[in-house]
Amino acid sequence: MWRTLYEMRCKARCWPAGRVLLALALLAGTAASAEPLPIFDTHIHYSSPAWPEYDPPAIGAKLDAAHVLRALVSSTPDDGTLRLHGLHPHRFVPVLRPYRTGVHSGNWFHDAPTADYVAARLRQGSYQGIGEFHLHSPEQARTDVVRKVARMAVERGIVLHVHADAAPVAALFALEPELKILWGHAGMVTPPEDIRRMMDRFANLWAELSFREGEILASGDLHGAWRPLLIAHSGRFMIGSDTYTNSRWEAYEAIIADHRRWLARLPAEVARAIAYRNAVRLFGAGGIERLRD
């Protein structure tokens, strides 16, 4: 854009003054009206440590500043999710996290009452997923609690948001081949070659890319195997921020800006798919018109 503006100025000597002024005015108006690429953030938390620092309108303002139009939210405890969803049900998509007092990432899969808790909450709310929850081994994915939770997700046609490496994700699909899984952080440290193998294998596997933005954009460009992976499976990647601590909320606008930097290095249609279109296909636009294109 601005290179074009410079070239037009250089040609001004050969153009009638009126044409130059008109062209510059039109070009400046186009630049001023350009808006950032819309983002659908598929990984935020509004857990209890954030409540004293940021009330729900302040969280909405954080999303506004980053030009994030819609977001998938889960929280510990679930009350935080309900507070955001209650503020703006079209903007915040509720996902039920099984964590609560005494139940956390290290024990939820063995906690027998968790299955009943999840079932009761699902009956009461309009949740579009269960998670984000952690699984540290395939054995943890095969407990009775996890089996019951996975069956509930299939019966309701909702997504499991799973923080795990490849092996527990594969174990979940072995339990319930019809599951829909949103893979948290695309496995966090899973190499892109292994992510590709998983996506080639499982058609109902999507991945959000929270905490992967620095790796993707290493050395100022799309790094190594990431570019071909993102293009090959452009219909199943999404953006995530993971506001699991207040410091992540403090840095929220910068986190989203980092994602936009690597998105800008992809073909425009691929970038739009990953930025928001894939999430809209899975979770809906919530009546937000800018997400319907």
The residue that leads in pLDDT, 106 or 218, is 106
| DSSP bridge pairs for 41 | 71, 239
**Full DSSP string of 156-204:** HT-EEEEE--HHHHHHHHHH-TT-EEEEGGGGSS--HHHHHHHHHH-TT
pLDDT at residue 20 in the model: 37
Q: Which long-range contacts (CB under 8 A, 24 or more apart) does 154-160 make?
A: 154/178, 154/179, 156/122, 158/127, 158/128, 158/129, 158/130, 159/95, 159/128, 159/129, 159/130, 159/131, 159/206, 159/282, 159/283, 160/129, 160/130, 160/131, 160/133
Residue 239 pairs in a beta bridge with 41
Q: What is the pLDDT of residue 221?
A: 79
Phi and psi (nearest 5°) for 216? -65, -40
* Per-residue pLDDT, 280: 98
Q: Using a pLDDT cut of 90, give the percent of the chain over it.
A: 83
- What residue segments make up the domains of the chain, in order of their start? 1-34, 37-286
Q: Rounded CA gap, 112 and 256, in Å? A: 38
Name the residue with tokens 């108006």. 29
Q: Which one-letter amino acid corresponds to residue 172?
A: L
* Residue type, position 87, single letter: L
8 A C-beta contact, residue 178 and residue 154: yes
Residue 290 DSSP label: G
Q: 37-286 maps to which CATH number?
A: 3.20.20.140
8 vs 76, more confident: 76
Average the pLDDT over 82-111 and give the result: 97
Angle among Cα 63, 68, 69 to the nearest 5 degrees reads 105
pLDDT band at 292 (very low <50, low <70, confident <90, very high): confident
| Cα–Cα distance for residue pair 33/49, rounded to 1 Å | 38
Q: What confidence tier does 125 reach under pLDDT thresholds 50, 70, 90?
A: confident
Is residue 4's pLDDT more than 60?
A: no
Q: What is the pLDDT of residues 42-94, one digit of tens each?
A: 999 999 999 999 999 999 999 999 999 999 999 999 999 999 999 999 999 99
Average pLDDT over residues 264-268: 96
pLDDT at 116 over 70: yes
Mean pLDDT of 116-135: 97
Residue 241's pLDDT band, with cuts at 50, 70 and 90, is very high
pTM exceeding 0.85: yes
Q: Is the pLDDT of residue 16 over 50?
A: no
